[in-house]
Amino acid sequence: MQRHEAPTIAIVEDDPIMGESLVERLSLEGYRSVWLTTGDEALTALRGKRPDLLVCDIRLPDMTGEELYHSLLPRLGGTPVVFMTGFSDVSQAVRLVRAGADDYLTKPFAVDEFLTRIGDLLRSRGIGAGDPDAVLGTSPTIRQVEQLLRRVSDVHSTLIITGESGVGKEVAARFVHQISKRAEAPFMAVNCAAIPSELIDSEVFGHEKGAFTGAHALHRGYAERAADGVLFLDEVGELPLPLQAKLLRLVQERVFFRVGGEKPLPFAARLICATNVDLEQRAREGSFRRDLFYRLNVIPVTVPPLRDRRDDVLLLLQTYLRQFAEAFQRPAQRLTPHAEATALAYEWPGNVRELRNRIERAVALATGPWIGADDLFPEVATVDDFGEDTDWPQLTAVRDESERTHILVTLQRANGQLGKAADLLGVGRTTLWEKMRRLGIAVEHTE
């Protein structure tokens, strides 16, 4: 998810003129900056605090930028790192990129180039980039879903969210809650498929003391605890028929009864349901009440599978990499070009849940700054030797290979149509054609 606050950039630079000019320009561009002048000051200031991006000079008065980087590496997680270096220190900067740093700039450099580089890095992490209102993702399909959710966030009508398992239906429901006027009220999530059928009535609607054997005290169910917030029923298609009747009354009359109770209780929350099954088909088969289906299907929203929004894959991977690296205190920093290409080509049958699990495992087992294709997909016979000491590629080669792979994947998605591919990549047709020519990509089909 993208964040709304201004990104924080830490600058480690002992030159007062350079440091002050960068801070002033970053402020004008809407960034927050922290200026540190020594390695020791940086180690102290960044203890327990992580900036969104770190810019560091190679030469510092008390240590080298390389020494500082390796000291900070366990705390940095997925934080992008850019080094500033004089021409004589370029070899050291290349060595740092090899160790996991993201980029380097040779002094003197144009400030506009500096801003472009850091902007690209922040965008790759989904931080402070693009449309500030883009929360669920950046792909056109998920943006349409987000716009619809925003329009109905404060509508009282029942919302039903459909989609394959793992696409993020609960994420969408929580998003609606967070942006609505009910944001300060409870969000009560119930997985209808995970609660035994003999207990679900009591769990959802509560029970009175003595209502059945073992009911030693009054129990307030999810519907009551939701108060005037949101009651989220996940996998609502798995509700048994008797409970469907009680849910129908709750939707129609806005009241419910505890098990063993005689007093109707008002239902003030908004009801949001989710399912990965075809409720209309189940209604035709008789396993789901037809009248309940029509009551729930007031505002239907479908969350598309991840294979239909590949523009979000790298953004999600980088976001989760950053989160897990921080949580686990692991040195993982970046995905190798091969890992990115493999992830973009993968179909993701388990959707966002699978993506999250794969990057969590990869980060937890990481021993260095790079996450390779073999780390993300250990079940596939693939060799990703990016980062090995032998035949280390130059930075320009890495950029070209990453760009080439992404263009090929985009052309495949666009069915070879150059104009459509250019639109997906956000560049003009001429620009795309020139890049393809430079990278040796043949144009097989054009519009």
The two tokens of residue 70 are 């390796």
pLDDT of residue 445: 43
Angle between helices 169-179 and 140-151 (to 10 degrees): 40
Pairwise CA distance, residues 191 & 20, whole Å: 54
Task: Copy the structure tokens of residue 269.
Answer: 């929350």
Distances in Å between the Cα of 153 and the Cα atoms of 85, 183, 367 are 49, 10, 43
Q: Which 8-state DSSP code applies to residue 78?
A: T
The listed range with the strongest mean pLDDT (96-110, 176-190, 415-429) is 176-190
Are the CB atoms for 123 and 92 separated by under 8 Å? no
Q: Find out whether 387 and 370 touch, Cβ atoms under 8 Å.
A: yes
The answer to whether residue 169 scores a pLDDT higher than 90 is yes
Indicate whether 63 pLDDT > 70: yes
Q: Does the structure show a pLDDT above 80 at 441?
A: no
Question: Percent of the chain, pLDDT > 70?
Answer: 89
pLDDT in tens, 28-41: 888 899 999 999 99
Q: What is the mean pLDDT of residues 381-401?
A: 58
pLDDT, tens digit, 9 for 90 and up, residues 290-337: 999 999 999 999 999 999 998 889 888 988 888 888 888 888 878 887
What is the identity of the amino acid at 176? V
Q: What is the pLDDT of residue 387?
A: 55
Q: How far is CA 85 from CA 25, 47, 303, in A?
A: 19, 25, 46
The rounded distance, in Å, linking the Cα atoms of 301 and 148 is: 8
Question: Hey, what are 231's tokens?
Answer: 């009651």
CB count within 10 Å of CB 266 equals 11
CB 66 within 8 A of CB 360: no
Output the pTM of the full model.
0.66
Q: What pLDDT sits at residue 432?
A: 85
pLDDT in tens, 218-248: 999 999 999 999 999 999 999 999 999 999 9
Residue with tokens 């009440």: 289
Count of CA atoms in the C-beta half-sphere (13 A) of 240: 11
Check residue 219 and report its DSSP letter: B
Give one word for 250, left, alpha or beta, with left for phi > 0 and alpha for psi -120 to 50.
alpha
Distance separating alpha carbons of residues 243 and 259, to the nearest angstrom: 11
∠244-249-250 over CA atoms, to 5°?
Answer: 95
Mean pLDDT of 142-162: 93
Would you say residue 447 has pLDDT above 60? Answer: no
Domains of the chain: 8-124 (3.40.50.2300), 140-306 (3.40.50.300), 308-439 (1.10.8.60)
Cβ count near 8 (within 10 Å) = 18
Alpha carbon separation from 195 to 47, 201, 225, 373 (Å, rounded): 43, 10, 17, 38
Question: What is the C-alpha to C-alpha distance for residues 80 and 50, in angstroms, rounded to an integer?
Answer: 11
Q: Where are the alpha helices (DSSP H) in 125-220?
A: 140-151, 169-179, 197-205
Q: Give the per-residue pLDDT at 39.
A: 93
Cα angle at 446 between 440 and 447, to 5 degrees?
A: 155
Place of tokens 């995970």: 194
Instruction: Yes or no: say if 341 and 306 are a contact pair by the CB < 8 Å rule.
Output: no
